[in-house]
Structure 1
Amino acid sequence: MKHFDKILIANRGEIACRVIATARKLGIKTVAVYSDADYQALHKTLADEAYYIGSSPAQESYLRTDKLIEVAQQSGAQAVHPGYGFLSENAEFAQACHEAGIHFIGPGHEAIRAMGSKSEAKALMEKASVPICPGYHGDDQSDETLTLEAERIGYPLMVKAALGGGGKGMRIIEHAEQLQEGLQAARREARKSFGDDHLLLESYISRPRHVEVQIFFDRHNAGVYLFDRDCSLQRRHQKVIEEAPAPNLPDSMRKSMGEAAVAAGKAIQYRGAGTVEFLVDGERFYFMEMNTRLQVEHPVTEAITRQDLVEWQLAIAAGAPLPLSQEQLQCHGHALEARIYAESPDHDFLPSSGKIMDLQWPQAKNYVRIDTGVQQGDHISSNYDPMLAKLVVWAESREAAIDKMSQALSDYQQAGLSDNRDFLLHLVNEPAFRKAELSTHFIDQYPPTELTPDQIRIALVTAGLLQYDRLSYYGTLPAAPFFSQVTLFYDGKQHTLKINQSRSGYDIQLPDGECFAQIESIEWEADRLTGNLIIGQQTFRYRAVYLPDSKLKLFFPSFSIELDLSGQCLAAHDGSEAMSAPMNGTVCSVMVSEGQQVKAGTALLVMEAMKMEHTINAPCDGIIESVFYQAGDRVDAGSSLMAYKEESDNAA
């Protein structure tokens, strides 16, 4: 099979590491690029060569076509693998590679350009007899035209960036009154993410499934589909759990979707890996978009087909024919992928940044796979996508795959910044997920849940005993009768435990009752402890990590919790946090001025972090006293954005 001698990977993180793994297997040399933020990144370490391309913001590094072409030529790379995100679906970059005599590992720039515009793609698919959803995909982008078209389509409807993807530049409009604000927000986000604010409108299907088909084409326009994936579990229009094959699809519909996806590829003379995404409404399906690159979720297709899709990409880009025909491709078992994100599910999935202080992966064996670009000690920057890793599992049946994923998620533990591990555990163990009752609204139906009183109680007892044991070891417990008192803080609330040790265990008084506990086993390793604790008649396995600033992170099989040991934890106050930055990021726009009177819910300011926008709304009626930031300013989480005076009920 044909292959290159050396390739440049125009990306970072997990996908760069993934491409390096296959290239190394094939004996292909790899060239990495890195920014200031990635000076010590894993992909830089794994590659055979690495070149600095600019400062941390993507616009000054990973989106610099000129720098990437320069490095490819300087290093002698014959081809460029774009990964996903960044310039992977940028027709100008693909064309620049071609003009520089460098192979672009992906489709031709003409196909990227055609599918990069959702409106043009819809028109092409309609000509190719691929089903499309009713909507407006025209060039006239005036507010007047879009308003008229919205009335024709009817509400609710979806506003989408024509060049969009990943939920960026996308808004659901329930009523006509929301249209203008939705158009402006979508345009702003689209312009920032894709450099183009062209929009399209589509009829909004209330409970669709998101099912996509993996396709591959070689240079001879021979194409195959490698079955399908269900990607319905999404938050903010971004996928978090994917599986293959898509469950509960009639065989005839599955075949029709595969054939429609191949027809879509043939219509644009496609080459390489691509994904055709469909909205499924009952037994009907509609073309949504085509991604002209390798998808984040490609490992589940690799698992069920037993093929290396990156190897296919490299071979086809080098001129080889398709490795297998449609008849030779077979689907084996079931695979699931869970995306681990640095984010706070209990705070509207806001991205988090900081240092990974502790990291434990599940064992990569028995069809458990870990795709990542991070390691312990890394600092997660707000400049890039917040995905930390992908956990992928395979089993003979869907039920067995879900069980395996639940265990893998339980075994994954990270301390130092917020992530969505517990939320993913909640999703895969939700009975409706096991029954495959899937739709893109699944997460709205089964949102993140707070810890139960029993879980908090287990955590407090565990932390209390560990702290008691630690203070005893270091000889820092006060003299009797106060030696048994340990104070902990969780969620701004103080919890005082009174602990009396006996030969058989510990009698513990909590604010809401008493219990008896025993430390069955404990293993120390620096600031990390692992062991078993018996509370009442139940045994609990735990892992504890002591963090800076007197924090303690506890992991249990089904949940985790971070406690404060310092006694300096402040209670939340009454709505004023709405005037503070909820995350590290950049101010996009300020919609109010000093002295302005506003109503509750009024949009005050828009922030952006990790390519997603977050709107700060007025918590109540009031007056803007001071505005501390303007558009373009960088802001740290917790910084005061503006001074806001609540309007008195007795005001004249």
Structure 2
Amino acid sequence: QRRHQKLIEEAPAPGLSDDLRRAMGEAALKVALGCGYTNAGTVEFLVEGNDYFYLEMNTRLQVEHPVTELVTGIDLVEQQLRMAAGETLAFTQDDVRVSGHAIEVRINAEDPAEGAFLPSPGRIDRLKVPDGYGIRFDAGYEAGDEVSQFYDNLIGKLVVWGHDRDTAIRRTLRALDETVVEGVATTIPADRAILEHPDFRAVAHSTRWVEDTLDLTGVRDSSRASDDGGPTVRRDLGVEVDGRRFSVSMWVPDPAAAVARRRSSRSGDGGGSGDGNVTVPMQGTIVKVLVEVGDTVEAGDTVCVLEAMKMENNITAETAGSVAEVRVAPGDSVGSGDIVAVIA
């Protein structure tokens, strides 16, 4: 997982002893019985060594419920509806048999960006999903749909079954190779890096492994449509996620060059350099404006805060000076490369 949000899930959980799995199942039942809960639900635990710790209960199915369905043959959504209709379960715990291994890969509209995992909202120009034995793809989008900046960016779930874990991993990698998403960047390159890593195959990873250990240097997604293939500039951003601050760097189209080209196309005069323009690196919504016209700022000072796909990004001044223009207000929607302020 990254930023406490899962990327890959599997069932049955590898590396657990039968005794530990049984104890966690009994604890989950106690939680449900203790609160008088009836229907499908999910109890989460954290495991460290031979110990487990209760995390939370979700009174619903989880995103990863298809891996349970593939290894048990039980349609959990059907059972959820039947229980809601007042029916009783037609089977007992002793009837549940686990066969093989299943892996689910969440395909999100994010550019791995060497570990920064930057939001990539936009229009899906092409979506080709894999098929074949043991492969399932649950999608919420089709080609032509728009991935909004305002909601979760999960494009689809690739769920793969194999008679054992190694087979499931190989089949998942093959299915990822067949998956085509154009128009927005996706997490597929990072998913491949995870599945191919020796730590993952040896079950030597943890919930912090992607952020602390996995080397994603050079791992990016080039699927996103480029406006013109022109020059790019580096943007250093401060990002806040779940109350924690991160520093990330990204390369984006050079807005100065884009402005010059637009002016040139309209008037043929060659345009200006764009120095002092404060631009946003991605589509999103302005949630805070921290400067006013006349304020003095230093290079690196935050001018405004941009929200994109549930993440807040500090938009900073690249040069010192006085604020000559503020072109946005809280609530305004902006696109990649838009100028939000001008520093004179």
TM-score, normalised via structure 2 length: 0.79
What displacement does 1:337 show? 0.2
- 1:312 is aligned to 79
Question: What is the rounded CA distance, in whole Å, between the counterparts of 2:234 and 2:140 in structure 1?
Answer: 40
Structure 1 residues 264, 628: CA separation in 2 closer, same or farther (over 3 Å shift)? Answer: same
- 1:579 is aligned to 278
What displacement does 1:624 show? 5.4
1:288 aligns with 2:63: no
- 1:372 is aligned to 139
Give RMSD over aligned pairs: 2.6
**Deviations 1:49-107 (Å, cap 9, x if unpaired)?**
xxxxxxxxxxxxxxxxxxxxxxxxxxxxxxxxxxxxxxxxxxxxxxxxxxxxxxxxxxx
1:609 aligns with 2:269: no
Structure 1 residues 574, 636: CA separation in 2 closer, same or farther (over 3 Å shift)? Answer: closer
1:391-406 matches, within 5 Å, as: 391-406=158-173
What displacement does 1:373 show? 2.4
1:622 aligns with 2:320: yes
1:129-144 matches, within 5 Å, as: none
1:438 aligns with 2:205: yes
1:355 aligns with 2:54: no
What percent identity do the matched residue pairs reach?
39
- 1:591 is aligned to 290
1:552-563 matches, within 5 Å, as: none
1:330-349 matches, within 5 Å, as: 330-346=97-113, 348-349=116-117
Contact 2:127–2:143 (CA under 8 A) maintained in structure 1: yes
1:300 aligns with 2:72: no
TM-score, normalised via structure 1 length: 0.43
What displacement does 1:426 show? 1.5
Question: What is the rounded CA distance, in whole Å, between the counterparts of 2:209 and 2:148 in structure 1?
Answer: 29
What residue ranges of structure 1 are gaps of 5+ in the alignment? 1-233, 453-558, 646-652
Question: What is the rounded CA distance, in whole Å, between the counterparts of 2:285 and 2:164 in structure 1?
Answer: 45
What residue identity is the alignment partner of 1:616?
A: N
What displacement does 1:300 show? 0.2
Contact 1:600–1:617 (CA under 8 A) maintained in structure 2: no
Higher RCO (Cα < 8 Å, 6 or more apart): 2
Which of 422, 443, 453 is residue 189 of structure 2 equivalent to?
A: 422
Which of 184, 201, 216 is residue 448 of structure 1 equivalent to?
A: 216
1:381 aligns with 2:168: no
Question: What is the rounded CA distance, in whole Å, between the counterparts of 1:299 and 1:572 in structure 2?
Answer: 41
Question: What is the rounded CA distance, in whole Å, between the counterparts of 1:595 and 1:253 in structure 2?
Answer: 64
Contact 2:278–2:318 (CA under 8 A) maintained in structure 1: no
Question: What is the rounded CA distance, in whole Å, between the counterparts of 2:82 and 2:315 in structure 1?
Answer: 51
Structure 1 residues 257, 624: CA separation in 2 closer, same or farther (over 3 Å shift)? Answer: farther
Q: Which has the higher helix share?
A: 1
User: Which has the higher Rg, Structure 1 or Structure 2?
Assistant: 1
What residue identity is the alignment partner of 1:614?
A: E
What displacement does 1:338 show? 0.4
Question: What is the rounded CA distance, in whole Å, between the counterparts of 1:561 and 1:628 in structure 2?
Answer: 31
Question: What is the rounded CA distance, in whole Å, between the counterparts of 1:599 and 1:323 in structure 2?
Answer: 68
**Deviations 1:149-198 (Å, cap 9, x if unpaired)?**
xxxxxxxxxxxxxxxxxxxxxxxxxxxxxxxxxxxxxxxxxxxxxxxxxx
Contact 2:302–2:317 (CA under 8 A) maintained in structure 1: no
Structure 1 residues 450, 377: CA separation in 2 closer, same or farther (over 3 Å shift)? Answer: same
Structure 1 residues 412, 270: CA separation in 2 closer, same or farther (over 3 Å shift)? Answer: same
